[in-house]
Structure 1
């Protein structure tokens, strides 16, 4: 970890596009101003951690939950000649060549 000392109105540059400026210092609190392109996400660590937890939870759907959803939805529409599961046995495939 790089540790730097800065005073009010001094800045730190990260890469070519991110600038962090010390805006105010009051007691044990430091206010930062961050200039970065919109494509670079900037979050407080506690917010980033919450986002990461929510994303992990959303991505970890259980197979029993998927089965329940599939049962609620049903097999869906079929097209002529294609079974509901969408799988055609090799001997059912028509040769069009």
Structure 2
């Protein structure tokens, strides 16, 4: 971890496109301003943890029959492990190689 000391009005630059400015210090509190491109997500830690928890919960809510239906696998067959793997590989390939 890089540890720096900054005063009010001083800035930190991250990757040439993110600017963190010390706006105010009051006791143990520090107010900062962050300028970053719109594609950079910035969250307070407690909000970020809630988002991760919600994402994990939503994944748990997907049932196997819904998943089978989503990837068009006939769940009446008992041995479909290889079909699952082939479908997942196909989906992964499509995600990693978007259409041009």
Greater CA radius of gyration, 1 or 2?
A: 1
The match for 1:59 is 59
Measured after TM superposition, the shift of residue 28 of structure 1 is 0.6
Distance 1:65 1:49 in 2: 29
TM-score (norm: length of structure 1): 0.63
Distance 1:37 1:64 in 2: 38
In the alignment, which residue of structure 1 is the partner of 2:37? 37
Q: What is the TM-score when the length of structure 2 is the normalising length? A: 0.62
Superposed CA offset, 1:72-95 (max 9, x none): xxxxxxxxxxxxx6xxxxxxxxxx
What does residue 13 of structure 1 align with?
13
CA RMSD, Structure 1 to Structure 2 (Å): 2.1
SS state of the match for residue 53, structure 1?
helix
- Aligned equivalents of 1:41 and 1:64: distance in 2? 32
Residue 81 of structure 1 corresponds to: none
Structure 1 unmatched ranges of 5 or more: 71-84, 86-97
Distance 2:65 2:47 in 1: 28
The CA deviation at 1:65 is 8.0
**In structure 2, how many angstroms separate the alpha carbons of the residues matched to 1:62 and 1:37?**
33
Give unpaired runs (5+ residues) of structure 2.
75-100
**SS state at 1:52 partner:** helix
